[in-house]
Structure 1
Amino acid sequence: MTSRQKLVLALLLGSQFMIAVDFSILNVALPVVGEGLGFSLAHLQWIATSFALAAAGFTLLFGRVADLVGRKNLFIGGMAVLGLSSALGGLAGSPEVLLTARVLQGLATAAVTPAGLALLTTAFKEGPLRERALGLNGALMSAGFTAGAILGGLLTDLLSWRWAFFINVPVAALVLALAPSVITDSRPERRPRLDVPGAVTVTGGLLLLVLGLTRAGETGWTAPATLAALAAGAVLLAAFVRIEQRAAAPLVPTHILGRRSVVWGNTAGLIAFATETSLVFLLTLYLQEVLGYSALATGLAFGVLGIGTVVGGLLGG
């Protein structure tokens, strides 16, 4: 790698690492946040769910927006929103303000993740360098989850849960200062269309699906609100599939989804995220509310879980 490539790699990997840290840094502080701002135990999940709704619902849409406005522009804009929303979360004095900050963090994540990955891929030609960069990206995102859990516990015990938000601000500021001059923009050779029907149906479908699953945990699987959200989400996602099959510039080309590598990659990713994120949320409450662990002890316990993911990320390239 040239010195410029190393700097680009450090900047992009550092940003993705921070995004990964955000997935877990607040988890171990949830009981403390709840006590400080007046969340009931049953409503603590919304601190995580509000982030997940925005991040899951808008990632595909922002991936296409990045192709239209430029990946570098969206990446820088997303990092700016992430820094501002983190400051807002750290200063929050009510549940409403905190949840607003989490939604904005989720939107920033939905913008930065696809744009950053596209910039990382185009910064290196196909071959060993790109494979190495993507392997490091996987390892660092896994390490970010582990570091986030430990760091969240450390900050909560020594300072305050608010520093789980504030720590993002200087990192985002550093990226915003360096990215405009270091990162080279990339766009597809042909300017794609936005595919508005596809964007509306997939975003709405994912939002309703996650909302339905969340409502099921609060009111039960047979509650009318739960069934309505799940059914509406399923209808919109089915419509999305039909739209993508006919669209001139689909958000997700359906022929790609049939490739074995994509099928197995998506399946493994779905299983990993579905099990690990729910496991971490429930274990956080169990370790602290039932067993009486401190936030730091909880973070260290999750560090054991993270070692395997780091090793997997290093070998994955």
Structure 2
Amino acid sequence: MRKFLALIVFLSTLSLQSQELNCLVTINDNQVIGSNKQVFRTLERTITEFVNQKKWTNRDVKPQERINCAMNIIITKRDNNQFEGTIQVQSTRPVYGTSYETPILNIKDNDFNFSYNEFDQFIYNPTTFDSNLISMVTFYVYVILGMDADTFALRGGEQYFKQAENVVLQAQQSGLTAWTNQVGVQNRFQLIDNILAPNMRQFRSVMYNYHRNGFDVLSKNKAQGKQTIENNIITLDRLFNKVIGNPMIRLFFDAKADEIVNLYSEGPNTRSKQRMLVVVQKISPNNSNKWRKIN
């Protein structure tokens, strides 16, 4: 009996100490010429452990509540300990009453350049800038946490976005352009600046209502949930009219375009469908081929 109770306590402790992310990290080094590929496997393992084993928040997270996400890093060039590449960051969250995972984030960063020596330790200090690689990975961890939290509570990701903003502020010491305000350039500075901008609050309201009052309702009332989703997509037109080419619009549809098309592959019909089609064609023209699939 004592052994049984000890096991229960042990498992309970593991549950309380569970980290927030379940992240698949992959590094593609096919474009790098050379026979010594072990450094990439070491780096892949180190980032995986850093992201998945570090406690990023003060929340008690159960294992099944961890956020499923992925970081796909493509290395395009290596010169000794200097690396150039890109990173694709994706995350999903479960939909209430279903086995479906809805995409929340799908963003590509083409300026994922860093220095790294094999077996370098990954330690993040929020008050200093130590490594561009650590700062970049940490930044996207907090963006993942913030975007996820925004879908469960209205602007629920504020504290995590503030942490991402702090990463940017500290990293500006490096002088690297991806961390600074560059006019007409979409970079990490612009991403977090737009997310936290007061005039972009409508975007974060859409993220909440689309998921919590839309997708989470579908299993109980498909017509109601679908209409809520539709109404919130239409609402994005207001943001588009504030800033032409608004990056938050692209952030939304890079994750959601395929999902929206799939949602409209079957009934029930909704009253604002044609208006929604006009809106998405206007504010997300790069997805025009997908919108044509909606009958």
- Larger helix fraction of residues: 1
Q: State the TM-score, normalized to the length of structure 2.
A: 0.32
Is the radius of gyration larger for structure 1 or structure 2? Answer: 2
- Larger strand fraction of residues: 2
Bigger relative contact order, structure 1 or 2, given CA contacts below 8 A and separation 6+?
1
